[in-house]
């Protein structure tokens, strides 16, 4: 079997040729079915992306690339300089190893409570402290400026606990280390040993690459896997999420389509179940509407199974397949209209305004944005509930939080598995006719 990396490199080169050829080709000269063929190829590649390393996030591999690239280069140059610089670089590497392990946990688990998060971050925090303590113990060292540059920059690894702008936090940490980096360049080793100049450049490159990584994968804060079980203090990344449980041992059941079906079911069993349970505790109209809400989710779940097994139908047939979900949404909205005198009208309205988000399955090419718009429509009524019950009945506050969490997780699901629209199985069978 050909090496996967070689094939991907070849594909990368071909994509450039395809782009250039497409730019020079007149639309009328493109053979019929070419666009559909290209779309099928993209879908297959999405499956490859999801299957490599199980459900391991792309951002885990990207962090490992950072480790093997600029971090390794910096440590190697530190080893060449030797002495205290080499010893501190070993601690520096240890800190990045700790963060790499933590990133692996993030990719496979949901965000835990603050006290658990702090315990998961402890290995990284301890490594940062070790680096800083090492500098303090070596104040008489000829390499004190080197040690200080690293010691001032390394708190940038704390970006993992910064929201909503971890990128600027890294920049601020690097600015703190720049004074000492400049001393290495301008004073201590100016014109004496270019290896030290390269060392400073390598240190700067590490944090430039870290900043670029964060801005690409975690621009508004660390991205946890909210469709997975919540992390515990003993959670360890396996490097490969467990395969979907489909009740079948067939070899094709680990494909991207089965993966996103199982992911949706996991989402329902965690986020929607929590919301429905709280609705039942409140009771009355809220519980009754929640039963309709659950029915809508069940209809959507069944529809997603159809998409995973079938080719995309024509619009008129698609509308028929979506009818159970559409009818359930209408029921929820009609229920709200029939209960305008209810004391819990704001609850009913919050759900009624957000439930059209389930229509993302028919939105191309940005279904995630569509869901976000529905969230914003719902927030007005959610805030009304908070104003009415905060400090009076915390059950209603938790209810709003559960509804918002459901919507956040729905966005996460859509952006992870269907970022440009629902992924149909173009190698599957025609969809059923109702």
Q: What are phi and psi of 230, to 5 degrees?
A: -65, 140
The pLDDT value given to residue 19: 64
The pLDDT value given to residue 266: 77
- Report the distance separating Cα 188 and Cα 200, nearest Å: 12
**Which one has a higher pLDDT value, 432 or 294?**
294
User: What pLDDT digit, counting tens, does each position of 262-272 carry?
Assistant: 778 878 877 88
- Report the distance separating Cα 257 and Cα 50, nearest Å: 10
For 171, residues 6+ apart whose C-beta sits below 8 A from its C-beta are 211
The pLDDT value given to residue 177: 86
* pLDDT exceeds 50 at position 219: yes
pLDDT mean across residues, the chain: 84
Q: How many CA atoms lie within 13 A of 387 on its CB side?
A: 7
The average pLDDT across 111-137 equals 92
Q: pTM value?
A: 0.48
Among 88-97, 234-243, 246-255, the range scoring the smallest mean pLDDT is 246-255
Positive or negative torsion for Cα 364, 366, 371, 377: negative
The pLDDT value given to residue 145: 93
The pLDDT value given to residue 4: 55
* pLDDT exceeds 90 at position 261: no
The pLDDT value given to residue 175: 85
Question: Degrees (nearest 5) of the Cα angle 42, 213, 154?
Answer: 160
* pLDDT exceeds 80 at position 123: yes
The pLDDT value given to residue 274: 85
Question: Degrees (nearest 5) of the Cα angle 309, 310, 312?
Answer: 140
* pLDDT exceeds 70 at position 112: yes
**Which one has a higher pLDDT value, 342 or 29?**
342
With beta carbons less than 8 A apart as the criterion, state whether 244 and 253 touch: yes
**Which one has a higher pLDDT value, 120 or 233?**
120
Percent of the chain scoring above 90 in pLDDT: 50
Confidence of residue 190 (pLDDT cuts 50, 70, 90): low
The average pLDDT across 151-159 equals 94
The pLDDT value given to residue 237: 58
With beta carbons less than 8 A apart as the criterion, state whether 174 and 153 touch: yes
* pLDDT exceeds 70 at position 37: no
- Report the distance separating Cα 122 and Cα 111, nearest Å: 16
- Tokens 């670029």: give the residue: 212
* pLDDT exceeds 80 at position 235: no
Percent of the chain scoring above 70 in pLDDT: 82
The pLDDT value given to residue 40: 55
User: What pLDDT digit, counting tens, does each position of 65-89 carry?
Assistant: 899 899 999 999 999 999 999 999 9
The pLDDT value given to residue 47: 43
Residue 347 to residues 57, 284, 340, 363, 372, Cα–Cα distance (Å): 36, 11, 11, 27, 19
For 258, residues 6+ apart whose C-beta sits below 8 A from its C-beta are 244, 246, 252, 308
Look at residue 429 and give its three-state secondary structure. strand
Among 14-28, 303-317, 336-350, the range scoring the smallest mean pLDDT is 14-28
**Which one has a higher pLDDT value, 386 or 109?**
386
Among the listed residues 161, 173, 163, the one whose alpha carbon sits nearest the alpha carbon of residue 211: 173
């Amino acid at each position: 079997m050909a090496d996967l990396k070689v094939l991907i490199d070849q594909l990368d080169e071909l994509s450039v040729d395809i782009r250039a050829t497409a730019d020079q080709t007149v639309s009328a000269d493109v053979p019929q079915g070419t666009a559909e063929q290209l779309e099928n190829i993209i879908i297959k590649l999405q499956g490859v992306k999801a299957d490599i390393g199980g459900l391991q996030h792309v951002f885990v591999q990207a962090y490992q690339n950072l480790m093997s690239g600029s971090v390794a280069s910096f440590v190697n140059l530190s080893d060449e300089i030797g002495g205290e610089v080499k010893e501190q670089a070993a601690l520096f590497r240890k800190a990045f190893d700790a963060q790499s392990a933590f990133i692996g946990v993030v990719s496979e688990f949901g965000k835990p409570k603050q006290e658990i998060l702090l315990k998961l971050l402890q290995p990284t925090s301890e490594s940062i402290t070790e680096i800083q303590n090492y500098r303090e113990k070596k104040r008489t060292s000829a390499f004190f400026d080197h040690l200080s540059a690293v010691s001032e920059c390394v708190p940038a690894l704390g970006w993992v606990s910064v929201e909503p702008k971890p990128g600027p936090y890294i920049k601020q940490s690097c600015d703190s280390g720049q004074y000492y980096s400049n001393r290495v360049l301008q004073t201590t080793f100016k014109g004496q040993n270019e290896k030290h100049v390269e060392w400073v450049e390598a240190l700067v490159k590490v944090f430039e690459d870290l900043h670029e990584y964060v801005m690409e994968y975690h621009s508004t804060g660390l991205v946890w896997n909210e469709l997975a079980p919540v992390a515990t203090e003993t959670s360890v990344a396996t490097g490969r999420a467990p395969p979907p449980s489909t009740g079948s041992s067939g070899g094709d059941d680990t494909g991207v389509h089965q993966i996103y079906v199982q992911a949706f079911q996991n989402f329902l069993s965690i986020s929607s179940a929590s919301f429905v349970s709280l609705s039942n505790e409140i009771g009355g109209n809220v519980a009754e509407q929640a039963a309709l809400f659950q029915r809508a989710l069940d209809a959507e779940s069944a529809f997603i199974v159809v998409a995973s097994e079938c080719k995309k139908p024509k619009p008129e047939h698609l509308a028929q397949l979506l009818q159970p979900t559409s009818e359930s949404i209408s029921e929820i909205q009609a229920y709200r209209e029939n209960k305008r005198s209810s004391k819990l009208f704001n609850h009913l309205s919050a759900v009624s305004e957000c439930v059209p988000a389930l229509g993302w399955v028919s939105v191309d090419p940005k279904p995630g944005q569509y869901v976000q718009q529905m969230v914003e429509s719902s927030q007005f009524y959610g805030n009304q509930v908070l104003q009415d019950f905060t400090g009076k009945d915390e059950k209603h506050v938790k209810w709003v939080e559960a509804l918002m969490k459901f919507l956040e997780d729905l966005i996460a699901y859509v952006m992870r598995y269907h970022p440009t629209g629902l992924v149909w199985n173009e190698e599957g069978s025609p969809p059923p006719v109702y």
